Amino acid sequence: MAPKLLLTFVIYRLISTVGLTLDPTDLLRLEVDGHLSVDPSDVKTASVDFGMMNRAEPLAVLHPSSAEDVARLVGAAYGSAHGLSVSARGHGHSINGQAQTSSGVVIEMSASKGVRQWGLPRVSEQSRYVDAWGGELWIDVLKTTLEHGLAPKSWTDYLYLSVGGTLSNAGISGQAFNHGPQISNVYELDVVTGKGELLTCSEEQNSELFHAVLGGLGQFGIITRARIGLEPAPQRVRWIRVLYSNFSTFTKDQEYLISLHGQPPNQKFDYVEGFVIVDEGLINNWRSSFFSPRNPVKISSFGTNGGVLYCLEVTKNYHESTADTIDQDVEALLKRLDFIPSSVFTTDLPYVDFLDRVHKAELKLRSKGLWDVPHPWLNLFVPRSRIADFDEGVFKGILGNKTSGPILIYPMNKNKWDDRTSVVTPEEDVFYLVALLRSALDSGDEAQSLEYLSNQNRQILRFCDDAGIKVKQYLPHYTTQEDWVDHFGDDKWTLFSKRKMDFDPRRILATGQRIFKPMAASSW
C-alpha cells in the first residue's frame, strides 16, 4: 500500500475511533523511506510491554529507516490541527505502558522481525566513542565495540534494551558508583524534538536540549543517535559473592567499596551490587543461579537475623596478561570486609558472559513459559540516611518470607550524576537503588498474584510516606500531575515544565508517561 494511501487510512481510523476532527491534508504530505504499518501483528506488538499490565493499541506503527523518517512523522503530527501523539518504543521493556499510545503512532525504534533498517554502530578508536542508533540494543553496541577492543563504561544489568530507552531514564548497574549512570557517559545526541526538528546536541551545542533529554522520560525528544564514551575492554571477570546476616555491616561494606571510586584500578572493584534474600530454603533464583544446585545454600545455615540474608556482589575485570595479580588484588580488597567467612562464592568468566548474564536466565525462563508474565516491578532510590529504616520496615516487615523475584540493593555516589539532566535522585551524597524485580504468576499461590504484588508495592510506598523516607522512583510511574510535581520537587518541576514548552509545546511525545495532558485530549 502506498504511503499516502496508508496514511489516509490511519487518519480516518483516528477520526472514527477517537472522534477527533482532523484536517488530513498536512499528514498526507508525509513520505517516509521506512514502513508505516497498520498490520494487526505490528499493532498488537506495540500495544503491550514487558510489564504486561497495560494495553493500548496505536493507530499505526512506523518502522523508520532513518532519523529523517522520525522527524517527518513528528513534524506532521505537530503541524496538524489537533495532532497525533507519538511514542518511541525500543525493545518494549517498559513496565507501565510508558511507550504506548491509543491516539497516535508508535515508532518502533529497534529492529523489527530481524529487519535492520539502519547502519551498524560506528566506532572511533582514536577518540574512543561509538555512534549508535537510538533503537540499537546495548548487546549489539557491545558486540561492535569489542571488535575494536573497546566497550562502554557504564551498563544496565540486561543488555537487550535500546540505547534511547535507557538514556531516557538513566541506565544503571554496578558500575555506576565509579562511572556514573549511562547518561553521564554520553558525549553527543541527535534528537527529534516534539516540533519535528532534528537537532544535534551536546554540552556545547543545544545544551539545554541535551540535558533535558537525558533522563527526560521521552518528554522532550526522540533520541535517534547517541555518541557514547568507550574504554579498553577487559577480557575476563572475577565474579564474587559473599553473604551477610547483619544489614548494617552489609551496607557499611558496600559504602566503603563505592568510596574507593577515585582509587587506582587495582585498588577497587569494577562493579558493586547486592541483593536481599528473604525466601526460605534455597537462595537460588533466576538472578542468583550463581550458587550451584549441586551445592545448595540454605538461609538457615548462616544464622540469619529475622530470616533475611544480604548478598554483596562484586567483580574485578582483568586481562589475561595480568591474571597473575588478580588473586592478590581481590584478596586485598576482600580482607577489609566483614562478611560471613564461610560464604565466599567465586567464579571466573569472559567479560561478555558476565555482562550478558541476565539474558541466559531469560532464555531459561522463556523455555518454561515464565518470561511473558506481568512484572509489577518497583524501583526506588532510597536516601542513605534512611536505608536501615527501609530494611526494618520492608525487607524484615512487609515482604515477610516470600518474594516473587530478585530484590537488588546497592549504593551509588551522587557526585557521579549530573544535576542538569532531568533525572531525579535523593538529596544525599550516597543513595541506594532498591529494585523489587518481581513476576506475577498464575500458580495458585496468592503471594505470587498480580493483585497481591501490586498491593504490596502500594504498601511499601505508603510505608515510606508515613515514615518520612523521601524515596524517589526510578522508572517512575504516577497517574496524577500532583504526584509528578511531588516527584520532581517544585524547582525541578518548574524547569521540567519549561523544557516541555520549549521542545514539545503541543505535548504529543511519550503521552504514556501520563505527565502532561496532550493538547488534543480532554482526559488522560
pLDDT tens figures, 116-131: 667 889 999 999 999 9
The CATH number of the domain holding residue 353 is: 3.40.462.10
* Same structural domain, 129 and 213: yes
* Same structural domain, 152 and 285: no
To the nearest 10 degrees (0 to 180), the angle between helices 490-503 and 481-488 is 110
Closest to 230 measured CA to CA, from 337, 339, 149, 113: 149
Q: How many CB atoms lie within 10 A of CB 218?
A: 26
Average pLDDT over residues 202-214: 98
Residue 520 has pLDDT above 90, yes or no: no
% of the chain surpassing 90 pLDDT: 79
Higher pLDDT, 394 or 14: 394
Mean pLDDT, rounded, of the chain: 90
Q: Per 3-state DSSP, what percentage of the chain is helix, strand, and coil (rounded to 5)?
A: 35, 20, 40
* Same structural domain, 203 and 264: no
283 pLDDT band (50/70/90 cuts)?
Answer: low
**Bridge partners, residue 277, by sequence:** 309
Q: Is residue 132 part of a domain?
A: yes
* Same structural domain, 349 and 364: yes
Q: Is residue 205 part of a domain?
A: yes
- pLDDT at position 401 is 80
* Same structural domain, 422 and 366: yes
Burial class (CB in 10 A: 0-12, 13-18, 19+), 232: exposed
- pLDDT at position 20 is 47
Select which of 35, 63, 93, 211 is catalytic. 93
Verify whether residue 125 is a known catalytic residue.
no
Select which of 108, 253, 270, 273 is catalytic. 273
Verify whether residue 273 is a known catalytic residue.
yes
**What's the domain count of the chain?**
2
* Same structural domain, 296 and 393: yes
- pLDDT at position 516 is 95
- Asked which of 71-85, 167-181, 376-390 is least confident by mean pLDDT, the reply is 71-85
% of the chain surpassing 70 pLDDT: 86
Domain hosting residue 358, numbered range = 236-473
Higher pLDDT, 294 or 392: 392
Q: How many CB atoms lie within 10 A of CB 248?
A: 11
282 pLDDT band (50/70/90 cuts)?
Answer: very low
* Same structural domain, 268 and 184: no
Residue 28 has pLDDT above 90, yes or no: no
Q: Using alpha carbons only, give the angle 73, 74, 78 rounded to the nearest 5 degrees.
A: 120
Domain boundary among the residues 232, 260, 292 is at 232
Q: Is residue 51 part of a domain?
A: no
* Same structural domain, 348 and 413: yes
Contact criterion met (CB below 8 Å) for 279 and 402: yes
Contact criterion met (CB below 8 Å) for 64 and 164: no
- pLDDT at position 16 is 53
Domain boundary among the residues 232, 263, 281 is at 232
Average pLDDT over residues 319-323: 90
Q: Is residue 165 part of a domain?
A: yes
105 pLDDT band (50/70/90 cuts)?
Answer: very high
pLDDT digits (tens, 9 = 90+) for 168-205: 999 999 999 999 999 999 999 999 999 999 999 999 99
Q: Is residue 129 part of a domain?
A: yes
- pLDDT at position 79 is 87
Higher pLDDT, 293 or 74: 74
* Same structural domain, 182 and 246: no
Question: CA 453, CA 53: separation in Å to the nearest integer?
Answer: 12
Q: Is residue 105 part of a domain?
A: no
Within 8 A by CB and 6+ apart from 137, the residues are 90, 91, 110, 159, 160, 161, 162, 163
Q: Is residue 467 part of a domain?
A: yes
Higher pLDDT, 386 or 442: 386
**Bridge partners, residue 383, by sequence:** 431
160 pLDDT band (50/70/90 cuts)?
Answer: very high
Average pLDDT over residues 470-485: 96
Q: Is residue 418 part of a domain?
A: yes
Verify whether residue 466 is a known catalytic residue.
no
Question: pTM for this one?
Answer: 0.92
* Same structural domain, 259 and 213: no
Question: CA 214, CA 423: separation in Å to the nearest integer?
Answer: 7
The CATH number of the domain holding residue 197 is: 3.30.465.10
Average pLDDT over residues 27-52: 87
* Same structural domain, 184 and 300: no
* Same structural domain, 352 and 456: yes
Select which of 157, 188, 353, 389 is catalytic. 157
pLDDT digits (tens, 9 = 90+) for 413-445: 999 999 999 999 999 999 999 999 999 999 888
